[in-house]
Chain A
Amino acid sequence: RNSQLPISDHVMPLDRYRNTALVDGIDVRALPLAGDCPAPASEGKQQQQQQQQHWFQRRLVQDTVGSGYVEFGDTKVLCSVHGPMEPKRSVLTDAGAEQSRAQLQVYYKLAPFASHQAGRVSYLPDETERRAASFLQDTLAPSLRLDRLPKSRIELHCLVLEDAGCCLATAVNCACLALVDAGLEMYDLVTAATVCRPVGATDWQLEVGDGSNSGGSSSVTLAYMRSLRQVAGMLVEAAEPLQPREVSAACRICEDPCKMTHSSLRQFLLDCLPADDRTAKIA
């Protein structure tokens, strides 16, 4: 009898645990302007040419091993680290490999009010967030000394409070800060930057955190370990295939901001140390 029940082809994931609106509405930011006039050219902020600075803070979350908070322009990201805890058992992984190194699991979520675009972000994670979590995991895992924590699991939770551009790179910087605050050994600090190419443009531009040039047709996010001079991760998002030389050009543009962020983060961590320990050299 169950086989005779109709199966809908368009099953939307329902959120039964939260309050939902009685009637669907249209975000006020998505409403057109009265009088059929086009949106003014200055509706978005003008592109800022000056270099934006990162603002770091640590130990914001009480009940965690380590936490970090980073602001880059208007983009705000909070990360916290839990663990080491008992590892998850999986039949797909080799039992020996799973016990010799810690597992790193990354969760990435945007707050419902984080987006500067019209519309709320759903509480249920979507494809973009899962891809960002996968990128963070692949980028940060090589920089950690996971072999120092066998038979354990480390969880990294990333929450974006405001996404005004360069969100993924800011999340990488924040995650690195949280991991250092948690006292986990790392080969090097991982810092990231994003370049984007707006529709119709030929040159790459450094993405800034004020919403002026985010949402282009193509973007390249590069995560870099300055001391080791190695690329930890790279994410290319493009509507059309890119030539290898275009990607190389984007990576070269990202390198300098990554180095500057590495210096800023390193100086912030040194300033957090007690005065007696500041004379110790950090590789």
Chain B
Amino acid sequence: DDAADWNLAAPAEFAKALLANRLRLAATAASPSSRVGHVTPSCLGGAAGSAISVLGNTKFACGVSASVVELSAAGTAAAAAGCHPLLAAGVVLNADLPPVCSRAFRPGPPSDLAQALTVQMSDALAQSGCLDAAQLTVGPRHRLQLHVDAVCLSADGSLPDACLLAVSAALANLCLPRLVVPADAGHDDSNSGPSVRSTAAADVGVRRCPSGEQFRPAVLRPGSAVICTSFVAIDNDQLLSVPDGREEALPGAAIVRVFTAGGGDLAVRVVSVQMVGEAASELVGRCCREAVERHAACLAGPLAR
């Protein structure tokens, strides 16, 4: 009770006293496995691929929906010009922070943090080299388009970590009905530019296999994943991995987020490093090494297939 009162009256001093004694109150500090996280795959029946990730008190639910698009050659080039590489590859990713996950988020259009999270996720996936866009091809004139929606259920720090964990697991568990492209499907409309196609099913020409057979497109290369590991650097001395919301808000702390990708036949590598605040280069190097180790632990643990 005294500790709770002290935390309420002077949270910054309470946090400093804890750190001075090498103590952490974050749920992710309990054990190394809690810093890796836990994933429940294929748990949402409304989506073709789904996963719920739990990282400490932060929880994300990710669902993947698939649609078939008919693209003409001119339409593909014109539509892809100037847009994000992930969109050009046929993956539409959105991260949402609804009011249900925290009092900090209000109903209405997505907050700045949600939009930034979406951009972070999209850039990490696009730069990872783990996406295999060829798996989305359906016949010569059609392609699958994936809508990846990550919704936060509980926000308590390390949002990109939990979000990417759920996205990687959902893409790895994608299961779609087998599609058949009849020989006379599609139209020779190479002269037409990008346009909104009619939503009538007959125009697309693609059919589902009547036997109910399903297939699993390896959108993420087998055994690979894209992971984010967050760190909080305090006074260039202490490094807290996978911090919670209170640790991320510590005054004078620098937040370092390391995005790693790889696994299976691909070597695990650091894709990008994002930093808020100032941290010594040695500390950033240590963050990268620990992030690569955590990536391997995630592939062996919650993302093992």
Which residues on A are within 8 Å of B, measured CB to CB? 17-35, 37, 40, 43, 60-64, 74, 76, 78-80, 82, 107, 109, 111-116, 120, 123, 155, 157-159, 161-164, 211
From B88, B110, B153, A18 is in contact (CB under 8 Å) with B110
- Which residues 54-74 of B sit at the A interface, judged by CB distance below 8 A? 57-59, 61, 63-71
Q: Are B100 and A78 in contact (CB under 8 A)?
A: yes
Contact A18-B94, Cβ < 8 Å, known A37-B210, A162-B46: yes
Q: Are B208 and A32 in contact (CB under 8 A)?
A: yes
Q: Are A61 and B154 in contact (CB under 8 A)?
A: yes
B101 within 8 A of A: yes
B92 within 8 A of A: yes
Taken together as a complex, chains A and B put the C-alpha atoms of A79 and B101 apart, in Å, by 9
Select from chain A the residue with minimum beta-carbon distance to B119: A19
Q: Are A159 and B207 in contact (CB under 8 A)?
A: no
On chain B, the residues within 8 Å of A123 by CB distance are: 94, 96
Taken together as a complex, chains A and B put the C-alpha atoms of A204 and B228 apart, in Å, by 51
Contact A34-B182, Cβ < 8 Å, known A63-B156, A80-B100, A82-B99: yes
The contact sample of 17 A-B pairs, CB cut-off 8 A, is A19-B122, A22-B79, A22-B88, A22-B194, A25-B68, A25-B197, A26-B67, A28-B68, A32-B207, A33-B207, A37-B210, A60-B59, A76-B44, A111-B63, A111-B151, A112-B63, A123-B96
Taken together as a complex, chains A and B put the C-alpha atoms of A111 and B83 apart, in Å, by 26
Q: Specify the main secondary structure of chain B where it touches its partner.
A: mixed
On chain B, the residues within 8 Å of A37 by CB distance are: 210
Interface string of B171-189 (1 = CB under 8 A from A): 0000011011010000000
On chain B, the residues within 8 Å of A162 by CB distance are: 44-46
Taken together as a complex, chains A and B put the C-alpha atoms of A40 and B75 apart, in Å, by 36
On chain B, the residues within 8 Å of A158 by CB distance are: 100
CB distance from B89 to the nearest CB of A (A): 10
CB distance from A41 to the nearest CB of B (A): 13
On chain B, the residues within 8 Å of A79 by CB distance are: 100
A-B CB contacts (within 8 Å), total count: 182
Taken together as a complex, chains A and B put the C-alpha atoms of A203 and B253 apart, in Å, by 65
On chain B, the residues within 8 Å of A82 by CB distance are: 99, 103
Counting chain B CB atoms within 10 Å of each CB, the highest count among A21, A37, A116 belongs to A21
CB distance from B77 to the nearest CB of A (A): 11
Counting chain A CB atoms within 10 Å of each CB, the highest count among B46, B103, B149 belongs to B46
Q: Are A27 and B149 in contact (CB under 8 A)?
A: no
Q: Are B109 and A164 in contact (CB under 8 A)?
A: no
Q: Are B46 and A19 in contact (CB under 8 A)?
A: no
Contact A26-B63, Cβ < 8 Å, known A17-B110, A18-B118, A62-B57: no
Taken together as a complex, chains A and B put the C-alpha atoms of A33 and B208 apart, in Å, by 5
On chain A, the residues within 8 Å of B180 by CB distance are: 34
Taken together as a complex, chains A and B put the C-alpha atoms of A34 and B206 apart, in Å, by 8
Interface string of B35-54 (1 = CB under 8 A from A): 00000000011111010000
Q: Are B194 and A30 in contact (CB under 8 A)?
A: no
